[in-house]
Structure 1
Amino acid sequence: MEKISVIMPAYNAANSIKESILGVLNQQFTDYHLYVIDDASTDNTAEVVRPFIHDRLTYIRNEHNQGVAETRNIGIEAASGDYIAFCDSDDVWLPNKLSRQASILQTRRYDVVCSHYYTFEDDLKLIKNTRGADELIGYQDMLKSNWIGNLTGIYNQKRIGKVYQQKVGHEDYLMWLAVLQKARNGLAYCIPEPLACYRLSTHSLSGNKIRAADWQWRIYRQHLGLSYQKSCYLFATYL
């Protein structure tokens, strides 16, 4: 049984997934298992992944397209590690990501660890040097902004249990809110250095700011059941 389970959903990711896989396989920390879940891609994603399949990488293919939340959930269900981390098929981890996070998790002070990260465009042009929060992130902090980038987050599923994603916009944000509610002291520790690279694609679901704002409002009102007044306050801080 691996110490860390890494979940990588993929859909028509043939042009980017090799970089993402290598970012995981080249980790200094080696007690992990990577689960690549192909959401019924129609390109040659499977052909790109196949040469990497070995005892540290499991490839799962959905028979029908199910969307990113359910695809991640299939990986979460398959995961057997003490900790669960996520890397999408167009993002890239730096080699020391898991080793830095494991050293903090093993102190047993925190159940959730994330980090700052770089943001870059499809052509690998750097947009921002880093993005991140203060070292300690609480639930109320997360309500104001999604400080846990999904590609940097890792949580202790052995202690708090597996947390699944809902089929909604900002599904990762809603999951991390639920994780924080169960976490030791209700806190996440954010490593103040970039340990991953987020690809800002013009075609990504989260790239549309108007749609993302609508998703955020729906989370406040429909999924968290917050009052209109509190939702307006939080939405203003989000914008």
Structure 2
Amino acid sequence: MNIESLQETKPTSKKLAMLNESNQIIVSVVIPTRNRPQIVARGVRTALAQTLQSIEVIVIIDGPDQETVNVLSQIAEPRLRVIELSKNIGPSGARNAGVREAKGTWIAFLDDDDEWLPEKLERQLEVANNSHYDFPVVASRFISQTPKGEFIRPTRLPNLSEPLSEYLFARNSFFKEEGCIQTSTIFVQKELMQKMPLEEKFYRHEDWEWLLRVTAMEGVGVEFVPEPMAIWHSEMGIKRLSNINDWQYSLDWIRATRNLVTPKAYSGFIATMITPSASSVGDWKAFFPLLWEAIRCGKPRPIDICLYLIMWLFPQQLRQKVSSILTNKFKK
């Protein structure tokens, strides 16, 4: 394993040996992390255990973090590179830094608290090579591990000609994560990431914003490996930025991103993404303003109005319990 600062980009002898042995790095795995040494080490090991061997794993430590450096230094693997940034720049900035350092043709993102199944990169590379898009963005299903059990997400894949914003935000059923693309499943060409890097001003929803922006480009399209290739952990005690309850931030985000989503998707985002956050903190003063926002700026369907009312009138724990029971029933 190589420990480096962002300024130290000259290959070490270990890096040169790795390049000479494999001749070419096909995929660069980029993992941003900070202050979660044992968790990121778990993810790193699943990346190094891929059946596709011609890879490098780049861990971007987002600010000084000696404990993480120490833990990762115990992984004796020349394909692992650890870059410690001099200051914290956020998840998007850390991922962009990893892309700049990458030597592979393809980039695969892995959140530090997630895991991959062994054939993940091999399967995605196969789909990408067979894609009719010039710049395919390859995702996959994943296993969602929760205190209630394990669930395969998303429950459906995009339909032909379905706008990506509607796939992500406009539910056709009452089940959560009916349509979704998880960051740890994204597999994309480095060239595309260089043309369209992540927007660093967003600390949440940055992956959705990037997907919506990049798929509006000519020659870009989303492909899926239909089987689950990653494991998403929803563990007690692990703080994820995606779980931070800040409904006003999400409202500001969808307003700023309005030109990238359809009216139906706009209403769906308010009903299923913003409303649960507002209702969970009992912010009832937002009830009518959010409903009016969905009507004024979006195009709500009957299911959106129904979901909106459900999010407000039924406690989150009850909704999760019912969803878990119904999901397990349909799994059988």
Bin the TM-score by the shorter chain. Answer: 0.7 to 0.9
Paired position in structure 1 for 2:215: 180
C-alpha RMSD of matched pairs (Å): 2.8
AA matched with 1:207: N
Distance in 2 separating the partners of 1:150 and 1:158: 18
Equivalent residue of 2:183, what SS?
coil
Distance in 2 separating the partners of 1:50 and 1:13: 14
Equivalent residue of 1:18, what SS?
helix
Picking from 9, 15, 31, the partner of 2:54 is: 31
Structure ranking higher in strand proportion? 1
Question: Alpha carbons of 1:138 and 1:232: their partners in 2 closer, same or farther (altered >3 Å)?
Answer: closer
Distance in 2 separating the partners of 1:183 and 1:59: 34
Residue 82 of structure 2 corresponds to residue 59 of structure 1: yes
Residue 124 of structure 2 corresponds to residue 89 of structure 1: no
Paired position in structure 1 for 2:242: 206
Distance in 2 separating the partners of 1:74 and 1:160: 11
Deviation of residue 215 (structure 1)?
4.0
Please say if residues 142 and 229 of structure 2, whose CA atoms lie closer than 8 Å, have aligned partners that are also in contact.
yes
How is 1:94-113 mapped onto 2 (pairs within 5 angstroms)?
Answer: 94-110=117-133, 111-113=136-138
Equivalent residue of 1:182, what SS?
coil
Deviation of residue 232 (structure 1)?
4.7
Paired position in structure 2 for 1:118: 143
AA matched with 2:230: A
Output one character per residue of 1:15-56: Cα deviation in whole Å (capped at 9) or x when no partner.
Answer: 211210110000001121111011125461111111336431
Structure ranking higher in helix proportion? 2
Picking from 194, 213, 220, the partner of 2:254 is: 220
Paired position in structure 1 for 2:182: 149
Paired position in structure 2 for 1:45: 68
Picking from 139, 147, 150, the partner of 1:128 is: 150
Please say if residues 212 and 260 of structure 2, whose CA atoms lie closer than 8 Å, have aligned partners that are also in contact.
no
Distance in 1 separating the partners of 2:128 and 2:262: 37
Distance in 2 separating the partners of 1:90 and 1:227: 29
Give 5+ residue unaligned stretches, structure 2. 1-23, 171-178, 274-332
Paired-residue identity, %: 25
Paired position in structure 1 for 2:278: none
Equivalent residue of 1:51, what SS?
coil
Paired position in structure 1 for 2:17: none
Once the two structures are overlaid, the 10-residue window that deviates more, 65-74 or 93-102, is 65-74
Paired position in structure 2 for 1:71: 94
Please say if residues 166 and 261 of structure 2, whose CA atoms lie closer than 8 Å, have aligned partners that are also in contact.
no
Give 5+ residue unaligned stretches, structure 1. none
AA matched with 2:57: L
Question: Alpha carbons of 1:177 and 1:227: their partners in 2 closer, same or farther (altered >3 Å)?
Answer: closer
Please say if residues 2 and 82 of structure 1, whose CA atoms lie closer than 8 Å, have aligned partners that are also in contact.
yes
Equivalent residue of 2:88, what SS?
coil
Greater relative contact order (CA < 8 Å, ≥ 6 in sequence): 1
What is the aligned residue count? 233
Question: Alpha carbons of 1:188 and 1:226: their partners in 2 closer, same or farther (altered >3 Å)?
Answer: closer
Output one character per residue of 1:59-110: Cα deviation in whole Å (capped at 9) or x when no partner.
Answer: 1001112221111111011113221110011110000100110111111324
Paired position in structure 1 for 2:223: 189
Question: Alpha carbons of 1:238 and 1:83: their partners in 2 closer, same or farther (altered >3 Å)?
Answer: farther
Structure number with larger C-alpha Rg? 2
Please say if residues 14 and 43 of structure 1, whose CA atoms lie closer than 8 Å, have aligned partners that are also in contact.
no
AA matched with 2:208: Y
Paired position in structure 2 for 1:20: 43
